[in-house]
A and B are shown apart, each in its own frame.
Chain A
Amino acid sequence: MEKLTRVSTISGRTMFCHLDAPANAISVCRDATQVVVAGRNIFKIYGLEEDGFVERLNLRVGRKPSLNFSCADVMWHQMEENLLATAATNGAVVTWNLARPCRNKQEQLFTEHKRTVNKVCFHPTEVNMLLSGSQDGFMKCFDLRKKESVSTFSGQSESVRDVQFSIKDYFTFAASFENGNVQLWDIRRPDRYERMFTAHTGPVFCCDWHPEDRGWLATGGRDKMVKVWDMSTSRVKEIYCVQTIASVARVKWRPERRYHLATCSMMVDHNIYVWDVRRPFIPFATFEEHKDVTTGIVWRHQHDPYFLLSGSKDSTLYQHMFKDASRPVDRANPEGLCFGLFGDLAFAAKESLMSAPPSVGDVGRKTYPGGDRRYPIFFFKKPDVTEQFEQVSSALSVFESEAGSSVGMDWFINTAQSYLLSGKPFGELCEHNAQVAKRLNRPQESTTWTMLRIMFSEPANPSLSSNHNLNKSGNLPLVNRKLKEWIKDVFLCAENEETEGSEGQAEYLFGDAELDDDDLYSMEHDNQAEEPEYLLPQEAFPLRHEIIDHPSAPEPVQERPESPHVSGSETESTCLTSTESFSLISVSQLLFSPHLPPKFFCPIVKEMLCYYAEQGDVQMAVSVLIVLGDRIRKEIDELTQEHWYMSYIDLLQRFELWNVSNEVIKLSTCGAIMCLNQTSTTLHINCSNCKRPMSNKGWICDRCHQCASVCAVCHHVVKGLFVWCQGCSHGGHLEHVMEWLKHSKHCPAGCGHLCEYT
């Protein structure tokens, strides 16, 4: 408890200061009030004040400092507050005593290593014991009371990258090597390591003992991984593995946080990452202040998890506050959502959120494999939500749209497959499509088809003729307006109906509107008696021209004989019952002849098609466009049509309805659409002389400079129909080859090939 109260005195903010030169390493004194920065050209002590760094002491003294000042590493003794050790790039191990009265604080100099010393490490509890690891492959243990090293450990391998005394085991230290190995030594036995294992592929740049767990060692390598090893068991076991983004140059366990460690890289990446080893994929926090690689990181106090100090090649020294760290997981999107083609939804979400009510932070927890769920004690003391960071998993669900709902796309597929667009008389097509729409519970579309049939084809039954006379000049605008209203009504109501899902609404409306406005029907039934009845031809498209061909000679309205009176209900039934409507179309007749030019309905139909397209139902727009053909085609500008066609064809292809798509392309009247079918047809031909593929489009093969299309029979150049054998590339005029093959099975060119013409 005593240590915690002391920790609480540490305060400060995120701050930095400029150094004179790039730093190689930093170390902090025991009471967390001063930090030493060492590098090739810098060796200074800074005081950590509330609001900034204050330079306290420059240890580089002399006019021309010796190479002994060029530091690769530095360590401040954790018990003796005046004692520091540095590892020099020239192989020297130097100790410094701040209590020395003169300017030069150098205390002892050991020059036993032959190459750069990468690391120095004081024993955590033994005041006079210092360990070094060097590029020359040796580790040396010094007793500071003696002039020379007391023991030398040979790693029997390449250079030593890091040495660390175990915090809990007095005699043990770990060393990491260039070749990927980690060795464990007993300080009393310099002859042979206790254990050795391969930790990484490539150099192991660093290692760090867990401050609490005596068996845990974290190692970081050039292979971008941080691994946590349990050394307490008889066989060294890898218990966690964190994959970082760049090679790992430094690793430091975070104080008071059992599963957290900080890493930095010496290549590419300038950031400092703090990981929770249980969630090895995403950093818990990052510090992104440095502009060049970070060379040294150290937690300011061994019992304080909130302050991290770092030195960098960008010649700055930073104090990072944990609350200012960026948290990648906060930026991360915890959900995935995708609207599928068929109206289905793929939705991925954090599993924890699914059952628990939404709450702040990542409280979701899941047992991680092989792990242990116990919280370290301090977690209970300080239930800090922002500090909770554990492995989270997501669940992915696929939601499928319910049949018949507005979200699904079943209707689209069914409709596309069932609609008839050609091959039958206009009326039958409309009727068929109306039935299809009705069957698929789409009353609005069904009604539309029925309306179209009525508008553009001719009521056949003369008995239905209305006795209402239409005063053309007087009533037309009115009719037009009413018709528009009526159509609007149908749309609005059909929409309601669709949402309510009941049937029969359309019929009701239809009848209703009809009863309100007899004029409407009068148009349909006017005049028909005079027209001769005839059957529609059975070909696909003559209908297109029918209306146009018909003379629109005005005929006096009054001349028509009286038709039998039709009641509203009767009309209604003719419109909507299939039996009668069949009789309607089998004998068709021009609907509005003389007084109502065929174009009369076109603006309304156009409006309707646009409405459908706007509703996203481009299928309806295109289908109507095709079925109506020339009746409407000229009314809608080419580009809009093309847009509809393209959209529809695109949709059809997405649903892999190739046949329908092809049919639509074939039936389209837009030039740009029709040529879609021809775009990917390529014919590869070989030259008949040299049998190489023809690369240019002309007559002459560019390889043998001979004319490629010479008739093998008459030796003239073939213009027009050319038939050739795919086996030997020879051929000629169709009639010549046919003639030839009556007599011979061999190639007329005399190549000996048994030609096959199919």
Chain B
Amino acid sequence: MSKLLKTVSVINTVDTSHEDMIHDAQMDYYGTRLATCSSDRSVKIFDVKNGGQILVADLRGHEGPVWQVAWAHPMYGNILASCSYDRKVIIWKEENGTWDKMYEYTGHDSSVNSVCWGPYDFGLFLACGSSDGAISVLTCSGDGHWDIKKINNAHTIGCNAVSWAPAVVPGSLIEQPTGQKPNYIKRFVSGGCDNLVKLWKEEDGQWKEDQKLEAHSDWVRDVGWAPSIGLPTSTIASCSRDGRVFIWTCDDPAGNTWTAKLLHKFNDAVWHVSWSITGKILAVSGGDNKVTLWKESVDGQWACISDVNKGQGAVTSITDSQQNEQ
């Protein structure tokens, strides 16, 4: 049997008909819809059922390049948030098959770079990070009213990415003395132009800086808090323009001690990290236009299990040497 293991292959290229660069692509909760956003100010939604892609909506409303999109949990309806260079965050909602603006947030003084919905169990709320250095947390209080909390100077020069902790913070359950159900503390992680990864938590309705994780030597471009499906540890991935991807883990239920492990040093800037649904596989995309998939082996080392090269269509393999490293 061949040692080459195919893990992913290209099925098709989606004709997005975006007129400029695409900055983000996000699949919804059920994996049946794909939202893309582009410099051309538009957000497009595709149905990706049965291997084909059909354009179902083209959302126009931003006045600048749209950097990121995020799907809310379907229990609140079909809701999509988008953020843009025009300093706005727009929350879109589908009703009777048509998408409309549900809310427009204009509280930032500069480009809004990242949006992320919090865990649905605790309501409909959204974090957005901006180039003005601030992070806003918008919470829907029903009737189209949104409650806004802003963290100023979260990152000097700007915040590039935000990601929420899963609803159940691992460890908080397992090590709990019996009886009391732990109160969920809302937490999220952010990455910024100050080369820092910061953790935030809500205490008495106020957002406070919880941890400051230093390891990167250039702008942090993306952060991803791994889903905690049965896992006892909290895991965060961060990537940076310095080419490094770090995996941060914390076993301590209080969330105070985080240890960094270098996943890999790439030759070029790394733009994105994305966790698989079980939180066991990490996809990383970098400036060399490659996507690599990483998995932690039994001995705790991260190994590349696949790489996807755009130019060659579908190339996926583990070389013998890589496998031996496992």
Contacts and interface: CB of A to CB of B under 8 A. Distances in A.
Interface of A: 224, 243-245, 279, 281-282, 328, 331-350, 353-355, 358, 391-402, 405-409, 492, 495, 499-502, 610, 612-618, 621, 637-640, 642-644, 646-647, 651, 654-656
B150 interface: no
Nearest to B276: A339
A667 B1 CA distance: 41
A637 B178 CA distance: 8
B174 interface: yes
Contacts of A393: 18-21
Contacts of A391: 19-20
Contacts of B102: none
Complex A-B, nearest 10 residue pairs according to Cβ-Cβ distance, in ascending order: A341-B31, A613-B230, A616-B278, A394-B22, A618-B230, A336-B25, A348-B22, A337-B272, A616-B280, A405-B7
A274 to B, nearest CB: 15
B291 A347 contact: yes
Given A333-B67, A397-B10, A344 B31 contact: yes
A638 B221 CA distance: 39
A514 B318 CA distance: 33
A346 B27 contact: yes
Given A338-B34, A398-B12, 6 more contacts: A332-B65, A337-B285, A347-B291, A396-B25, A398-B13, A647-B229
Of the listed residues A224, A332, A656, the one surrounded by the most CB atoms of chain B closer than 10 A to its CB is: A332
Interface in B106-158: 111, 113, 131, 158
B281 A406 contact: yes
Contacts of B308: 345, 347, 399
A354 B289 contact: yes
Nearest to A638: B178
Contacts of A501: 1, 5
Nearest to B288: A358
Interface of chain A, main secondary structure = mixed
B16 interface: yes
Nearest to A610: B232
Contacts of B85: 245, 282, 328
Interface in B282-296: 283, 285, 287-289, 291, 293, 295
B11 interface: yes
Contacts of A392: 20-21, 39
Contacts of B249: none
B323 interface: yes
B196 interface: no
B226 to A, nearest CB: 10
Interface residues of B, number: 90
B116 to A, nearest CB: 13
Contacts of B65: 281-282, 328, 332
Contact of A350 (B21, B64, B181): B21
Of the listed residues A243, A328, A346, A397, the one surrounded by the most CB atoms of chain B closer than 10 A to its CB is: A346
A405 B6 contact: yes
13 contacts: A331-B158, A332-B39, A337-B271, A341-B277, A349-B310, A392-B20, A397-B310, A405-B8, A406-B295, A610-B232, A640-B174, A651-B277, A655-B30
A339 B7 CA distance: 13
Of the listed residues A337, A343, A400, the one surrounded by the most CB atoms of chain B closer than 10 A to its CB is: A337
Interface string B53-86: 1000000000111011000000000000000011
Nearest to B51: A400
Given A406-B281, A501-B1, A333 B26 contact: no
B285 A335 contact: yes
Contacts of B295: 406
Contacts of B323: 499
A396 B36 contact: yes
B272 to A, nearest CB: 4
Contact of B271 (A224, A281, A333): A333
B275 interface: yes
A245 B86 contact: yes
A347 B285 contact: yes
Contacts of B64: 245, 281-282
A344 B281 CA distance: 12
Contact of A639 (B38, B173, B230): B173
A336 B24 contact: yes
Contacts of B6: 402, 405
Contact of B14 (A328, A334, A398): A398
B195 interface: no
Nearest to B278: A616
A346 B283 CA distance: 11
A354 B308 CA distance: 12
A335 B268 CA distance: 13
Contacts of A638: 178
B271 A495 contact: no
B311 A355 contact: yes
A277 to B, nearest CB: 13
B40 A332 contact: no
A328 to B, nearest CB: 6
Nearest to A347: B291
A646 B168 CA distance: 10
B319 interface: no
Nearest to A246: B63
B231 interface: yes
A331 B160 CA distance: 9
Contacts of B1: 500-502
A333 B24 contact: yes
A345 B8 contact: yes
Contact of A339 (B5, B19, B30, B277): B277
Given A335-B285, A336-B24, A616-B231, A281 B19 contact: yes
Nearest to B23: A333
Contact of B27 (A341, A408, A642): A341
